[in-house]
Amino acid sequence: MPLTDEQITHFKTHGYTAVPNFFTPREVQAMQAEVERFKRDGLGRNVATDGDGETHSDTKTNYQVIPLNDKSDLIRALPFEKRVTDAVGGLIGDPFILHLDQLFLKPGGQGIGTNWHQDNAYFKIADPLKGTAMWVAIHDATIANGTIHVVHDSFKEEYPHDRDPNSDHHIHCQVPEERAVPIELEAGGVAFFCYGTAHSTKANTTDRERAGMAFHFLHIDCVDRANLIDRQRGQPFLAGPEASGGEAEYGVKVAGTWDSEVARTLTENAN
């Protein structure tokens, strides 16, 4: 089990836990190379707006790429990695699916945060501890460059949400700021926070870019099979009797390919 009992208890009691060094420096290097390719190929878009929720900003950037599994064999393989499925199973219980995968990139200087929100304001699952995000620090994530922040114990509360005027599609809420906790992580560290935990990132005030990759996992009890699982969209079963290692959803065996994808990515980028 990649998580300690203490980390699991903290998640179940307070709604989040941080895990330093979850990915190795070599794995981080491969993920960073993929992020560079996403940028080069223009696979994402700036979702920041100038205060009206509509007008795209030229001065502020929140560069989002969603989904990732259709753009990168490396990132598609990541949620199948045993370290990940063991950790997620320990937190929300088996069986579960990959619900979402996305990247948020904040350029130095003009990168803005993603405002406070509870993922459950979007997804409305009955038990907010049955879904979790795994937010991966692709670069060192510090207070100065706007790392992820969470609100302690906030999964026990529901905050009213409305449209965030600084994003073309996100929602936001007010939170008890005195309970906000910044989670600083070296690249490769991860933060798990359940669907009820209010979280945000902040402006990147440094001159170097910072990216976070967010994977969301949902217990099968909370999956509306009729509406939610669209196998073509890549929401694979990752654990439990229906898990096929990706074959059912992607038509190829993805489970077990993480190490070879890391090696392939690094080789391609060395040339």
Chain residues in the site for ligand AKG (CB under 6 A):
104, 114, 119, 133, 135, 199, 201, 212, 214
Cβ 186 to ligand AKG, closest distance in Å? Answer: 16
How far apart CA 8 and CA 4 sit, in angstroms, is: 6
CA dihedral in degrees (30, 33, 38, 39; nearest 10)? Answer: 150
Cβ 133 to ligand AKG, closest distance in Å? Answer: 5
Determine the residue with CB nearest ligand AKG.
Answer: 214
Q: Which of residues 80 and 104 has its CB atom nearest to ligand AKG in the complex? A: 104
Q: Which of residues 167 and 265 has its CB atom nearest to ligand AKG in the complex? A: 167
Instruction: Show contacts of 248-251: CB within 8 Å, 24+ apart.
Output: 250/69, 250/76
3-state secondary structure of 187: coil
Cβ 243 to ligand AKG, closest distance in Å? Answer: 23
Residue at token pair 């063991």: 86
Cβ 56 to ligand AKG, closest distance in Å? Answer: 17
Asked whether 11 and 91 are in contact (CB, 8 A), the reply is yes
Cβ 225 to ligand AKG, closest distance in Å? Answer: 23
Cβ 120 to ligand AKG, closest distance in Å? Answer: 11
Q: Which of residues 101 and 249 has its CB atom nearest to ligand AKG in the complex? A: 101
Q: Which of residues 129 and 255 has its CB atom nearest to ligand AKG in the complex? A: 129
Q: Which of residues 172 and 243 has its CB atom nearest to ligand AKG in the complex? A: 172
How far apart CA 76 and CA 262 sit, in angstroms, is: 11
CA distances from 53 to 2, 122, 149, 152, 217 (A): 40, 17, 22, 28, 28
How far apart CA 99 and CA 12 sit, in angstroms, is: 20
Q: Which of residues 16 and 104 has its CB atom nearest to ligand AKG in the complex? A: 104
